Amino acid sequence: MAKKKEVKEKKTGSKSAAAPVKKPRTSAKEKALKASASSQKKAARAAAEVTQNAQILSSELVFDGPLFRVFRDEVVEPAGVRVSRDIVRHNGSVVILAVDSSKSKHDPWIVMERQYRHAAGQYLWEVPAGKIDLGEEPLAAAQRELAEETGYRARKWKTLATYYASPGFVGEAMMLYLAEDLYAGDASPEEDEKIELRLIKLSEIVKLIGKGAIHDGKTMIAALLYASLHGRKSKK
């Protein structure tokens, strides 16, 4: 009987040795933490590259106007280049893409303005926009400009992008906002603003941009960016 028991124990031990060793599974939470850590490292490296500023050797104010100032800066840029730059300094602007999707979510109506622009020497179709007053929060500026120029107010606001229209010599950051769930009110434009308002379908604006009929950069950026994001959202 003792011999039989010994044989059984040996067989059992043989099976145990042949069993595959299971690796511990990585939980979804652990995977998310690893992905987050990787993203944070990438963002930190990108931020380190972006935040490399030029060394300003001298800065001379050459023009001081009510809307912007011009400085002549002598700088050593991050790449080591020493150069003189004339820079337009501005308090920043807001751009508002006001969307009315009450009649069609697939192809919503966009609030557009037509006004004369002396710098361009022509009338332009544009989305509402304006400058940020000193000490004013960008969102408050966007809400104020939309109401003043068009009379429209919005219950929903979202930041879409921040960009520089001409970073070669203009230090004006432009913040693009999406305004939704609109309701009408009274407009109160400034004395020098003679604005014609119109609601135009998003698809029509995209076609006009493609035909070269819209020449305003901020309107192109706002409409095409939203059309891209809106198209992706519709497919989900």
Structural tokens at position 78: 């991050």
Q: Each residue of 141-183: pLDDT tens digit?
A: 999 999 999 999 999 999 999 999 999 999 999 999 999 999 9
Q: What share of the chain is helix, strand, coil (3-state, %, to 5)?
A: 35, 35, 30
Indicate whether 81 and 97 sit together in one domain: no
Q: Quick one: 78 and 125 in the same domain?
A: no
The residue from 39, 67, 88 where one domain ends is 88
Mean pLDDT value of segment 191-201:
91
The confidence band for 32, taking pLDDT boundaries of 50, 70 and 90, is low
Residue 147, classed as helix, strand or coil, is: helix
What is the distance between the alpha carbons of residues 12 and 171, in angstroms, rounded to a whole number?
A: 78
**pLDDT at residue 222 tops 90:** yes
pLDDT digits (tens, 9 = 90+) for 74-95: 999 999 999 999 999 999 999 9
* Catalytic option among 6, 30, 148, 191: 191
- Identify the DSSP state of 170: B
15 — pLDDT class (breaks 50, 70, 90): very low
For 91-136, what is each residue's pLDDT tens digit? 999 999 999 999 999 999 999 999 999 999 999 999 999 999 999 9
On whether both 84 and 96 belong to a single domain, the answer is no
What's the average model confidence in pLDDT over 173-200? Answer: 93
Residues 39-72 have pLDDT tens digits of 555 555 544 454 478 899 999 999 999 999 999 9
117 and 70 housed in the same domain: no
Position with higher pLDDT, 65 vs 191: 65
What is the structure's pLDDT at 3?
Answer: 47
CATH number, residue 199: 3.90.79.10
Domain final position from 70, 88, 106: 88
Domain that holds residue 77: 55-88
Beta strands in 102-221 (DSSP E): 109-117, 122-126, 129-131, 153-164, 173-183, 196-201
Residues 201 and 107 in one domain: yes
Q: Is 149 a catalytic residue?
A: no
Tell me: do 173 and 185 sit in the same domain: yes
CA 67 to chain centre: 24
